[in-house]
Structure 1
Amino acid sequence: METRVLIHKQDFSWKRFFLQWEWMLVLLFIAIHVMNMNLSEYYWDSANLRDATMGFLDKAFIVLPMVFIMILGDIDISVASIIALSSTVMADLYNHGVPMSFAMLVCLGVGILCGFINGLLIVKFKELSAVIVTLSTMIIYRGIAYIMLEDQAAGSFPEWFSFLGWGYVGPIPFILIVFAIFAAGFGWLLHKTKFGRSVYAMGSNSTASRFSGIQVNKIKMMVFTLTGLMSAIAALFLASRMGSTRPNVATGYELDVIAMVVLGGISTAGGKGRMIGAILAIFLIGFLRYGLGLVNVQAQVLLVIIGLLLIVAVAVPKLKFGKGLSRKG
């Protein structure tokens, strides 16, 4: 009788290691730096590169929970509207005499509430997809912001508030330090905890996960609520950087965030991808925009380039010669 051996762990392979999608992102990242250096003599300046992160890291906070959402096989396109609403409420309260510290807490509370509503609707109305639910709440949240301020700006925030978006701790931007802390925390949560393993399981097969004892509804609501919170944190940094806010802020952020997550190797079908890929994609797209902006490349050209990168991200792992590219969880 033939003996069958079950192997629970694969032997390490350098080939498999270097065929991971993240290495493709590293090569793209290097290529973009080389291209930008050739386009502008002012690009390779350490102070400028450091300061450039302030221009795109506010939306990077939303990328972190969006990784969880897309691994679940869902999507949230209301995040930009949550930024608009939470920042509008904060500014309006401050302009009516509420202390800024309390207004900031309310901003976070509004984000949490919006995310909770998204999760609750998705869980309670299973016949509706996440894209339909969040499309509806996207319109509602931004609509409320317009009702509050119409097309006016609000702000005149205290001087100390600008430290969030423009401050430094030594030579390092404060926003970069905060993002690094959050990125490490979200990476740990996704890859090293039972919660993260449950998210991967739900993305692979939600029904099987439910019968395996995973609290599917609870986890989904937690992920969407967390996304609302991170959107509100992004609102704090964006409002600080702008010095004010208005109902149309962060327009298009949801598309940028989804582009970063997809380019980072997160499967749109759910169940696959790693946090490090999404983080690499944040800086890849961020420095691409910065470098091409130095030579006044039109925004439409940037969109074409980012679109091509997304096609590469989706298509290459499916090609025969890219069969070995890995997007493991």
Structure 2
Amino acid sequence: MKEKVVYQLKDKAIWVVFIFLFVAFTIANTRFITPNNIITMVRQVSMYGIASIGMTFVILLGGIDLATGSIITFVNIICAYFMVHSGMNMYVAILLSLVLATLIGALNGFMVSTVGMPALIATFATQTIFKGLAYIISGGTPINGFTVDFKIIGQGYIGPIPVPVIIMVICFALGSFILNKTYFGRYFYAVGGNEEAAKLSGIRVGRVKYLVYSLSGLFAGLAGVVMLSRTNSAQATAGDGYEFDVITCVVLGGVSVTGGYGKLSNVVAGVLIIGALTNGMVLMNVSSYVQLVVKGLVLAFAVGFDCIQKKRQTT
């Protein structure tokens, strides 16, 4: 009962923090609350939001995926290469890029589940490998020259709403469906809560890990496609540091770093908080280095709070 009350307070607190930040930045700079700035802010965080869905699944499992940023970069480069240098049809290039991103995730699942490598080391290895491959394929130079249709994915609007935001909302809806309406979603929680108990209950833990890391790769790949369309230029540094921001969004959204607990609805709040922090600090002309410090403190606070609650539950 006590545990339930604690998590209910934690669920509500994240939205209170978002409202507080929203009010604080509005007072600091009235441009923050303008419709154009709000739309810009939500569009900017759409890539974080899309990638955070797969990361949520991984952290629910008690794992970590450091390869997210490199998958975004790799998809950025390979999708652009397919379209510009290979003359491939836009839809085929996107589909093939997403398949490759999913296979990278499956590779992480293989190393974690079958080989037995710690998730930290396995995903760090793939992070390094595919970051290097992105440089090799691009030669370290930007790739440009996309069709007008492709630009719609990252720059288009449906009415007043940016297309990337619509894609993010659809992805969150899909992620919520997986977690709340499918037996796979229940398996994610079960394995993250107690892997040994999950095995004894008949859950094929190895397959669950393959699925989770594959989904993480898929969502990161989709974020890479949206980013490529939005920036209109493939860069070998496109996804650098994205894994840090995505992990921050997920943990800030109340997903337990030890696995077994979390809600995608609160991850939405985590994504919006990171967006508000970044956008608000830019409007206040805060140095990018100071922004890194602030984001690091936010991550430390979120993880620290989760660890303290876990300790209290075991004492």
Within a 5 Å distance, the mapping from 1:267-286 to structure 2 comes to: 267-286=256-275
Question: Which residue does 2:96 correspond to in 1?
Answer: 106
| TM-score, normalised relative to structure 1 | 0.89
Counterpart check, 1:266 vs 2:266: no
Higher helix proportion: 2
Question: TM-score when scaled to structure 2?
Answer: 0.93
1:165 matched to 2:154? The reply is yes
Equivalent in the alignment of 2:11 = 22
Distance 1:170 1:144 in 2: 39
Alignment match of 2:107 (pick from 99, 107, 117): 117
The one-character-per-residue Cα deviations of 1:36-83 (angstroms, maximum 9, x if unpaired) are 112112111123201221112112111011111011111110111111
CA distance 1:314–1:190, shift in 2 (3 Å):
same
Per-residue deviation, 1:317: 5.3
For residue 249 of structure 1, the aligned residue among 238, 243, 246 is 238
- State the distance in 1 between where 2:131 and 2:14 align: 34
Distance in 2, Cα, partners of 1:141 & 1:260 = 23
Larger radius of gyration: 1
Name the amino acid aligned to 2:95: L
- Aligned match for 1:62, one of 28, 44, 51: 51
Matched with 2:184 is: 195
Aligned AA for 1:223? V
User: Once structures 1 and 2 are overlaid, which stretch shifts more, 132-141 or 15-24?
Assistant: 15-24
Q: Determine the C-alpha separation between the residues in 2 that align with 1:182 and 1:101.
A: 19
1:155 aligns with 2:167: no
Aligned counterpart in structure 1 of residue 219 of structure 2, from 217, 230, 235: 230
The 1:121/1:317 distance shift into structure 2, 3 A limit, reads closer
Determine if contact 1:22/1:276 at 8 Å carries over to the other structure. Answer: no
Structure 2, gaps ≥5 residues long: none
- Secondary structure of the 1:42 match is helix
Structure 1 residue 157, shift from structure 2 partner? 0.6
Q: Which digits, 9 at most, give the CA deviation of each residue in 1:172-229, with x for residues without a partner?
A: 1111112111111211211232111111111111122112110111111011111111
Distance 1:147 1:315, change over 3 A: closer
Secondary structure of 1:20's aligned partner: helix
Count, aligned residues:
310
Q: Given that residues 266 and 273 in structure 1 are in contact (C-alpha distance below 8 angstroms), is that contact kept between their aligned partners in structure 2?
A: yes
Structure 1: any 5+ residue segments left out of the alignment? 1-9, 325-329
Which residue number corresponds to residue 218 of structure 1? 207
How far apart in 1 are the matches of 2:249 and 2:198? 28
Query: Shift of the alpha carbon at 1:18?
Result: 8.7
Give a deviation string over 1:64-105, Cα, whole Å, max 9, x none. Answer: 111110111111101111111122111112122222222111
Identity of aligned residues (%): 32
Residue deviations 1:229-253 (CA, integer Å, cap 9, x gap): 1111111110001101022111000
The residue number in structure 2 matching 1:76 is 65
Taking a change above 3 Å as real, the CA distance of residues 120 and 276 of structure 1, as seen in their structure-2 partners, is same
| Deviation for aligned residue 1:316 | 3.6
Contact 1:69/1:75, CA 8 A, preserved across alignment: yes
Which 4+ runs in 1 deviate beyond 4 A?
A: 317-320
